[in-house]
Structure 1
Amino acid sequence: MAVNTLIFGGSGKCARHITRLLAAEGHTVHSIIRNPDQKSDIESLGGKPIVQSIEEASVEDLAKTITQSKATTVLWCAGAGGGNPERTKAVDNEGAIRSMDATAQAGVKRYIIISAIDVRDRSNKPEPEWYDDNDRQRSEKVWGFIGPYMQAKFAADRNLVTENERRGLEFTIVRPGGLTNEPGKGTIAAGKVHLDAMISREDVAKMVVECIKNDSTKGLAIDCVGGDTPIADAVAQVAKGRIDSFAGRY
């Protein structure tokens, strides 16, 4: 079934892979970008670029864009990169939350957000029970290095889950581990995974596309890292087991 997808943060590396993959399957992909110079790049991937500033646009502005695109699925792939804490908060936290409200306001149900593995309340909630010493060390290292980014992601994800009675979105949170620009392998590990395996952005994109296709992923936060299981199978296994890596950690 053809889907009409709107991507927030369309110029990002994962988003470009998603655009290419969906367009190649005959789907319509609208891609929100900030820089008009990127329009030809998006068009070359098969997407339809929309120039709009996520940081400056209101909920109403974003809802209007979603409505005009006739999107049936909204993807949040935007990110400030974690360099500037203020901009990270403006995009990864506040911008993401506005996109959730806008999606609901536009009457669209399906919403998928790319977050990050190990995003959680580290102060007040228990760590995942499958973590080992290597996971703890990596968690400490990542939160110490890009804490504002992880905190912004956490605030957005928590808002998505805790405010959903009001919004009524059919959401999925995709939580990849460390990212590489290597070509995708088409295989991953998903669910209760360790933090040390990297994953290519192309495989993250393939996983997002698989989540669009698999309705059983609705309501789940799914961790994914590099692994040996074909992506469709890995997603199906997590969906069947209702393995939610964020539950109980916010």
Structure 2
Amino acid sequence: MRVVIAGGHGQIALRLERLLAARGDQAVGIIRKVEQAADLRDSSAEPVVLDLETAEPAAVAEVLEGADAAVFAAGAGPGSGSARKDTVDRGAAALFAEAAQRAGVRRHVQVSGMGLDRADDPGMDEVFSAYLKAKAAAEDDLRARDLDWTILRPGRLTDEPGTGQVHLADSVDYGTISRDDVAAVLVALLDEPRTVHHTLELVEGHTPIDEALKRI
């Protein structure tokens, strides 16, 4: 399986690339900076330098040509302002999905977040509100497309070692989840057609990942 990953140098993406390589798949990571390429090669992934904030859909579609699946795992990241929350968390996600359609890559998994309906809560930080709104808009955009999409909403991310035990469902109580386990769930989602057209929330739990997917 050839999997193209937007945000290929992210902490989840690097873990995902290693997992894909370990089972014999080909991971291709889209990155913004050439100096990030070595980390991808260390993860047995092919780096492609392309800025999803400024690229044309045709250029992104060229990277996706021949892929079996696409994973959007990009984000503006800590320290970025409201404007980049929109251009990356919404705009780049929409561009990547459009490019997947152009390239004929139907399987599409998008990493989102929990609690998107809190954007207008009183006292909400302005930048975090912009992030939540951008993620919600990206979800809406993807749902409207003719793709075999799945949206994954992890809880608060940690760097604790993965346990392989999760709580995965249409709706779960807010909690934490290790980046290791998010990456493992992403791999499993790529293989599981019953999750197509589902928006799934993910936190740590007591159910093995394969079993959790069978319950969807």
Question: Which TM class, normalised by the smaller chain length?
Answer: over 0.9
What letter is aligned with 1:201? R
Contact 1:121–1:154 at 8 Å: present in 2 too? Answer: no
Task: For residues 130-161 of structure 1, give each alpha carbon's deviation from its aligned partner in whole angstroms, at most 9, with x where no partner exists.
Answer: xxxxxxxxx87877771111110000101111
**TM-score relative to the length of structure 2:** 0.94
| Alignment partners' CA distance in 2, 1:101 and 1:80 | 19
**Aligned counterpart in structure 2 of residue 21 of structure 1, from 19, 22, 41:** 19
Q: State how far apart, in whole Å, the 2-side matches of 1:94 and 1:142 are.
A: 22
Structure-1 residue corresponding to 2:150: 172
User: What's the counterpart of residue 97 of structure 1?
Assistant: 94
Closer, same or farther: CA 141–174 of 1 in aligned 2, 3 Å:
farther
Q: Per the alignment, in what secondary structure is the counterpart of residue 194 of structure 1?
A: coil
Structure 1 CA distance for aligned equivalents of residues 132 and 158 of structure 2: 18
Matched with 1:118 is 115
Change (3 A) 1:222 1:140: farther
Which residue number in structure 2 is paired with residue 160 of structure 1?
142
Task: Answer whether contact 1:92 1:152 (CA < 8 A) is retained.
Answer: yes
Choose from 80, 84, 96 the match for 2:76. 80
Q: Rg larger in 1 or in 2?
A: 1
RMSD: 1.8
Superimposed CA distance per residue, residues 80-107 of structure 1 (whole angstroms, 9 cap, x where no aligned partner): 0253110110001011001111100111
User: May I ask how many residue pairs the two structures share in their alignment?
Assistant: 214
Q: Answer whether contact 1:199 1:226 (CA < 8 A) is retained.
A: yes
More displaced 10-residue stretch of structure 1: 48-57 or 114-123: 114-123
* Aligned counterparts of 2:209 and 2:93: Cα–Cα separation in 1: 26
Superposed displacement of residue 184, structure 1: 0.7
The answer (yes or no) to whether the contact 1:143–1:150 under 8 Å persists in 2 is: no
1:56 maps to 54
Deviation string for 1:19-65 (max 9, x for gaps)?
Answer: 00000000011111111111111011110111111111011111112
Q: Counterparts of 2:124 and 2:46 in 1: how far apart (Å)?
A: 35
Unaligned runs of 5+ in 1: 124-138, 239-250
Residue aligning to 2:183: 205
Distance 1:225 1:85 in 2: 26
- For residues 141 and 23 of structure 1, the distance between their equivalents in structure 2, rounded to whole angstroms, comes to 44
Alpha-carbon separation, structure 1, partners of 2:164 and 2:124: 26
Greater than 4 Å deviation, 4+ residue runs? 139-145
Uncovered stretches (5+) of structure 2, i.e. residues with no partner: none
Higher share of residues assigned strand: 2
| Identical columns (%) | 32
Aligned equivalent of 1:44: 42
Task: Tell me whether 78-87 or 198-207 shows the greater mean CA deviation.
Answer: 78-87
Q: 6, 19, 22: which one pairs with 1:8?
A: 6
Aligned to 1:65: 63
